[in-house]
Amino acid sequence: MPLDGRFAPMAERVAGLNARYRHHGATAVLEHALRDRDVGRVALVSSFGAESVVLLHLLSVISPHTPVLFIDTQMLFAETLAYQQVLAEKLYLTDIRTLTASQAAVSARDPQGDLHKSNTDACCALRKTEVLETALAGFDAWITGRKRYQSGTRAEVEFFEADGDARLKINPLAHWTRDDLEDYIVNNRLPRHPLVAQGYPSIGCAPCTSPVQPGEDPRAGRWRGTEKTECGIHFINGKMVRKTQEDAA
């Protein structure tokens, strides 16, 4: 952080960081971002889903003490919770912070635990979006797994981007392809989420995730049969922004 404790305006800050690290690879971007004073306090946000192990492994090699924010919606697959424990131990991640909605909020807004059946957006807001926004209030930047190959508005995603007026998103894997991810997992002998082998290339909450058939979009199993395509954890000016299927996290 700057010596006077203040950052430059967000647009200037983003442009400067992207220019500084334009020719760096994922590992160098992550390593430098974690100690760059223009970035500030950083946390990694992970779903411990199908591709999460790549970024988690990179972090474990560079800085295993960095906070990792994991949102337990209390509707996750048992396999996801078990996988989270396996990776925490295998990768020696020492500061995983499990986040949940308060019991008071759940009791008031989803007392029967079936809000997802009538209003998926409201359920995600309660159990995930609002929880993450509260947790990120203590950080100047957060690390995401956003990648250009996911197309749509991500086709030109940079290593650094604005998340509102006061917080950064850091996207170390912005230029990676599906093959890059696969090679990294294989070459580093990393454990895969157990549901991937069962036809789940994208994994969210159990009630709202189903297997994907060959030829389908990898995210076709998320909120199947509805118009919903993402949970809304990406914000602009503190508000959820709806995205198309291929733009979603």
Which residues carry out catalysis? 231
- Give the alpha-carbon dihedral of 99, 180, 50, 33, to 10 degrees: 0
The Cα–Cα gap between 122 and 115 comes to: 7
Q: How far apart are CA 145 and CA 55, in angstroms?
A: 7
Q: Which residues contact 191 (CB under 8 A, 6 or more apart)?
A: 53, 83, 86, 87, 90
CB 38 within 8 A of CB 69: no
DSSP calls for 220-239 = TTBTTTSS-------EETTE
C-alpha to C-alpha distances, 43 to 85, 120, 200, nearest whole angstrom: 19, 27, 27
H/E stretch holding 109 reads: helix 103-109
Measured CA angle at 98 (ends 93, 99), to 5 deg: 145
Burial of 29 (C-beta count, 10 Å sphere; 0-12/13-18/19+)? buried
